[in-house]
Structure 1
Amino acid sequence: MEKPIIIFGAKGIAHAALEIFNSHDLVIYGFLDEDEKLHQKEINNVAVLGNPEDDGFLKLVGKKCEAFVAADDAKYRKFLVKLLNERRKVQPINAIHKLAYISTDAAIGHGNFINAKVNIGAGATVGHHGIFHTNATVEHHAEIGDFVQVGAGAVINSDVKIQDGAFIGTGAVVVSGVKIGKNARVGAGSVVIADVEDGQTVFGNPAQVIER
Structure 2
Amino acid sequence: MYLYGASGHGKVVAEVAEENGYHIIGFIDENLSKNKILDYQVFHELPLKNIDIIISIGNNKIRKNIADKNTLFNYVTLLHPNSLISKRADVKKGSVVMSGVSINSSVSIGKHCIINTNSSIDHDCFIEDFVHISPNATLGGNVFVGEGTHIGLGASVIQGIKIGRWCTIGAGAVIINDIPDGATVVGNPGRIIKVIEL
Q: Same fold (TM over 0.5)?
A: yes
Show the counterpart of 2:179: 196
Q: 2:3 aligns with which of 1, 7, 10?
A: 7
Consecutive unaligned residues of structure 1, counting only runs of 5 or more, are none
Q: Which residue of 1 aligns with 2:105?
A: 122
Partner of 1:33: 29
Where do 5+ consecutive residues of structure 2 fail to align?
none
Query: Which residue number corresponds to residue 67 of structure 1?
Result: 53
Deviation of 1:51 after TM superposition, in Å, equals 2.9
Deviation, 1:80, is 1.4
Query: In the alignment, does 2:163 pair up with 1:166?
Result: no
Counterpart in 2 of 1:22?
18
> 1:132-186: CA deviations, max 9, x gaps?
1100111000111111111100001100111111110000000000000011111
Q: Classify the secondary structure of the residue corresponding to 1:134.
A: coil
Equivalent position SS for 1:36: coil
Task: Decide whether the 8 Å contact of 1:84 with 1:91 is kept in 2.
Answer: no
2:10 aligned counterpart, secondary structure: helix
Residue of structure 2 in register with 1:81 after alignment = 67
- Of residues 89, 93, 96, the one that matches 2:79 is 96
Look up the match of 1:184: 167
Are residue 43 (structure 1) and residue 29 (structure 2) matched? no
CA contact (8 A) 1:185 1:201 kept: yes
Give me the whole-angstrom Cα distance separating, in 2, the residues matched to 1:141 and 1:154.
16
- Which of structure 1's runs of 4+ aligned residues deviate more than 4 A? none
Q: CA deviation at 1:92?
A: 1.3
Report the TM-score when normalising by structure 2: 0.94
Distance 2:183 2:69 in 1: 29
Instruction: Provide the identity percentage.
Output: 29
In 2, the alpha carbon distance for the partners of 1:47 and 1:114 equals 24
For 1:69-118, what per-residue CA distance to the aligned partner results, in whole angstroms no more than 9, with x for missing partners? 11112222112112220xxx234111221111110001111100211011
Match of 2:125 among 136, 142, 160: 142
Confirm or deny: 8 A CA contact 2:61 2:148 kept in the other structure. Answer: no
Q: Max radius of gyration: which structure?
A: 1
Q: 1 CA distance for matches of 2:36 and 2:194?
A: 43
Contact 2:185 2:193 in 1 (8 A): yes
TM-score (norm 1): 0.88
Q: CA deviation at 1:130?
A: 0.6
